[in-house]
Amino acid sequence: MLLNYKNFTLGVEEEYMVLDPVTKELKSHEQKIVHEGQKIIKDKVKAEMHQAVVEVGTDICRDVDEAFQDVSTLRKTIAEIAGNLGYQIGASGTHPFSHWESQLITDHIRYNEIVNELQEAARSNLIFGLHVHVGMETREMANHIANSTRYFLPHIYALSTNSPFWEGRLTGYKSFRTKVFDKFPRTGIPEPFESIEAYDNYVKLLMKTNCIDNAKKIWWDLRVHPFFNTVEFRICDVPMTVNETIAIAALFQAICAKIYKLRSQNMNFIQYSRALINENKWRASRYGIDGYLIDFGKEEEINTRVLIYELLDFVDDVVDHLGSREKLSYVHKMLENGTGADRQLSIYEQTKSLVRVTEYINSQFLYGL
């Protein structure tokens, strides 16, 4: 049976930190980078809630090679504009030592509303994530795939960990970013929904009762997108380099394609509860790829690296259909070299300087381009 893998398009969004070139502190760019960027890359660059953050998003990409080209162009463009304006750029889930209290909020009606509602939870939400959209043929299929891919979120999150420091402190976590974000409502691993109608009814109820004014205020680690036929994966720290970002995007895409293939053969991946998956998410946050995750089928702890290799084996039969084997193979390098968090911690151990760590983050922004 010939399956159509062309629906699994990719969209990648990254959030970058704007740095003072001398002190390496976070610095408000007063939206200058966004205004200059929009002259070149149009609406692919956006302001974020904090003025020291720049968000970029690719076009809809047919495959990972297109996504790689798009993200590379975005990174190079933003770095060049920032340099011309007297700033530097970096990609890390949190800034190693800047404090949120001193950062300015962007004056925009949406951000003002969020800050007014969520107060300090919003003002302190100075974090940088990666969002990967994978295209779906229908919203029904998107719901099915979202339910099944929940299990794998901690595995890929472990690979993306890139935020070991917070406000000048060594947190002991490989990803402290999600600890900061957990203060928001409607975050974390979602429950499965038995149908797309059940999900839509949930959204309608929240809107009817003034919990939210639109479905984008559901900030789970993955969601069926409220307006597009995509599953949006939101759990990851923004990776330090473009090769890491694309390897993670390729892995999300491959898992979706694999679940789709199983579905077409009247098979499915076992659904696990949010409570169980949360145990693995916590472990991934704390230990990255150096810990153990639970294999719920075997009911035992398994080395996280072993589980990631098993995950690569699980998706292997769809990778060539997607044309992503080369880009996905970078996962092996990530397992060898360590995640962004591991490399930040290594620099800190050598130098005992968070300024040096931040210089390293900046130096890696265009690595591999």
How much is the average pLDDT of 335-343? 98
How much is the average pLDDT of 67-86? 98
Helix, strand, coil distribution of the chain in percent, nearest 5: 50, 15, 35
Q: What is the pLDDT of residue 106?
A: 87
pLDDT tens readout for residues 226-237: 888 999 999 999
221 occurs within a structural domain: yes
CA–CA dist 22, 17 (Å, integer): 15
Contact partners, residue 282, CB within 8 Å, separation at least 6:
none
5 occurs within a structural domain: no
CA–CA dist 309, 172 (Å, integer): 25
Q: What is the pLDDT of residue 227?
A: 84
1 occurs within a structural domain: no
CA–CA dist 27, 20 (Å, integer): 6
Phi, psi at residue 110, to the nearest 5°?
A: -65, -45
CA–CA dist 276, 322 (Å, integer): 31
Q: How confident is the model at residue 359 (pLDDT cuts 50, 70, 90)?
A: very high
- Ranking 177-181, 199-203, 226-230 by mean pLDDT, the lowest is 226-230
Mean of pLDDT over the chain: 96
Res. 1: pLDDT tops 70: no
The count of structural domains within the chain is 1
How much is the average pLDDT of 159-168? 98
Q: Which residue has the higher pLDDT, 227 or 243?
A: 243
pLDDT tens readout for residues 113-150: 989 999 998 999 999 999 999 999 999 999 999 999 99
Q: How confident is the model at residue 107 (pLDDT cuts 50, 70, 90)?
A: confident
CA–CA dist 163, 96 (Å, integer): 8
User: Residue 131 belongs to what domain range?
Assistant: 10-364
Burial (CB < 10 A; 0-12, 13-18, 19+), residue 365, is buried
369 occurs within a structural domain: no
60 occurs within a structural domain: yes
How much is the average pLDDT of 93-100? 97
Q: DSSP states of 174-191 as a string?
A: SB-HHHHHTTSSSEESPP
Q: What percent of the chain has pLDDT over 70?
A: 100
2 occurs within a structural domain: no
Side chain identity at residue 294, one-letter code: I
Res. 2: pLDDT tops 80: no
Give the global pTM. Answer: 0.98
Sign of the CA dihedral with 13 first, then 20, 340, and 219 last: negative
Side chain identity at residue 99, one-letter code: H
pLDDT tens readout for residues 267-296: 998 999 999 999 999 999 999 999 999 999
3 occurs within a structural domain: no
Q: How confident is the model at residue 101 (pLDDT cuts 50, 70, 90)?
A: confident
Q: What is the pLDDT of residue 294?
A: 98
Sign of the CA dihedral with 97 first, then 100, 101, and 103 last: positive
76 occurs within a structural domain: yes
Q: Which residue has the higher pLDDT, 111 or 194?
A: 194
Query: E strand or H helix at 202, and its extent?
Result: helix 196-208
CA–CA dist 180, 169 (Å, integer): 14
Which residue from 331, 240, 223, 319 is spatially nearest to 14, judged by alpha carbons?
240
CATH code where residue 26 lies: 3.30.590.20
